[in-house]
């Protein structure tokens, strides 16, 4: 069921707060800037080790405090906790120290859909790579090792390029880059193939049109990665960095045979991005089991009533524990919450 309880201290606007959610849909209401999103952020921190709103963990610390704490008790009684100070972080899971943030998802698997979810469609490839890699990390056991090895070889090749080392030295790192890069590409392609059907199914409900999802590796079509690196080496030397490879890959999205990015409206961007998030959640559900949590922040924003009802209907079918925020119940037509909480002046209270 995900979380049985959540305690936070010195987190954003909260000096301290406690929440005891239920396994189904947990609705969190409150005025703007009351702290609704901060509660979701605390849950996301426990599952991912970072915020979905800020690149800096220390930005989550309450003004005037030195550190924040977030502690979650899971359905089986195990405890997951994290403390973030101005210059460090530490986490424990079941009483044992967490050494890599990737370990957190073994305890709490979290996905989020916030008002900025449209960026997944409209912004650059980095957003879509992160989305794809999160799914691939869960679907393909060897992905994380390949990604780390690739990143290590990429740093070494870039250093060799900047230092003006001879081709023989650069080629030495290219061998590892190619071997691990081809593994990454294969893992991602297979994940995209698995994502196509659930994403298309959700998009049909939300948009009523056919959606296409295609993986595009970060090098020219018709060239292998080894050939692409060799042919771009002179340009890479001038730039001092590697400009082709899986670190430049993208997820190409189509809506009725049109390129989605730069063509669809803001509302369509949100619904397409929601299709990606909910489709991914559907794919990962068998793998996540009862540790899956879906965070939905202000789903009604920029949607008309019929589209909002369609989105909420799909959210209600989620097999995960769900947290949804809104100004009030009326903002979410048709949603039947299993528990309601209200946030006001840095305090959380259960309403129903």
> For residues 164-176, b (16+ Cβ closer than 10 Å) or e, as one string?
eeeeebbbebbeb
Does residue 316 sit in helix, strand or coil?
helix
Q: CA 103 from chain center: how many Å?
A: 15
Give the per-residue pLDDT at 1. Answer: 65
Q: What average pLDDT does this structure show over 34-50?
A: 96
| pLDDT average, residue stretch 131-139 | 96
- Cα gap 192→28, rounded to integer Å: 33
CATH node for 1-121+290-352: 3.40.50.300
> What would the mean pLDDT of 24-39 be, rounded to a whole number?
95
Residue 334: per-residue pLDDT: 87
Structure tokens at 90: 């530490």
Average confidence (pLDDT) over 185-206: 97
What pLDDT does residue 263 have? 73
Nearest in space to 206 (alpha carbons), one of 319, 303, 113: 303
- What's the mean pLDDT when you consider all of the chain? 94
Q: What pLDDT digit, counting tens, does each position of 60-70 carry?
A: 999 999 999 99
What are the φ and ψ backbone dihedral angles of 219, each rounded to 5 degrees? -150, 160
Helices 266-288 and 167-206 cross at an angle (nearest 10°) of 100
DSSP letter, residue 163? T
Instruction: List pLDDT tens digits, range 240-287.
Output: 999 999 999 999 999 887 788 777 788 889 999 999 999 999 999 999
146-188 pLDDT, tens digit each: 999 999 999 999 999 999 999 999 999 999 999 999 999 999 9
Ranges of each domain in the chain? 1-121+290-352
């Amino acid at each position: 069921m995900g979380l049985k309880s959540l305690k936070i201290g010195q987190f954003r606007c909260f000096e301290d707060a406690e929440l005891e959610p239920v396994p189904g849909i947990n609705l969190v209401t409150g005025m703007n800037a009351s702290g609704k999103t901060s509660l979701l952020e605390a849950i996301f921190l426990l599952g991912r080790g970072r915020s979905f709103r800020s690149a800096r963990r220390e930005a989550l610390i309450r003004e005037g405090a030195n550190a924040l704490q977030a502690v979650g008790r899971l359905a089986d009684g195990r405890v997951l906790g994290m403390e973030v100070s101005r210059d460090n972080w530490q986490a424990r899971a079941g009483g044992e120290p967490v050494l890599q943030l990737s370990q957190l998802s073994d305890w709490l698997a979290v996905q989020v859909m916030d008002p900025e979810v449209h960026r997944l469609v409209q912004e650059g490839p980095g957003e879509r790579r992160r989305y794809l890699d999160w799914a691939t990390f869960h679907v393909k056991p060897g992905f994380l090792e390949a990604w780390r090895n690739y990143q290590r070889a990429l740093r070494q090749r870039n250093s060799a390029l900047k230092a003006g080392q001879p081709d023989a030295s650069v080629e030495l790192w290219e061998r590892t880059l190619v071997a691990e890069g081809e593994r990454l590409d294969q893992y991602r392609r297979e994940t995209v193939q698995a994502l196509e059907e659930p994403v298309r199914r959700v998009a049909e409900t939300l948009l009523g049109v056919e959606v296409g999802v295609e993986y595009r590796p970060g090098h020219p079509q018709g060239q292998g990665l080894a050939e692409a690196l060799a042919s771009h080496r002179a340009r890479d030397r001038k730039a001092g960095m590697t400009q082709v490879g899986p670190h430049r890959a993208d997820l190409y999205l189509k809506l009725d045979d049109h390129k989605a990015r730069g063509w669809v409206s803001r509302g369509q961007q949100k619904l397409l991005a929601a299709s990606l998030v909910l489709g991914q959640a559907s794919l990962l559900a068998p793998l996540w089991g009862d540790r899956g949590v879906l965070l939905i922040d202000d789903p009604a924003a920029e949607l008309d009533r019929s589209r909002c009802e369609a989105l909420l209907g799909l959210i209600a079918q989620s097999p995960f524990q769900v947290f949804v925020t809104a100004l009030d119940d009326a903002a979410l037509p048709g949603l039947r919450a299993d528990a309601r909480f209200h946030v006001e002046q840095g305090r959380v209270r259960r309403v129903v």
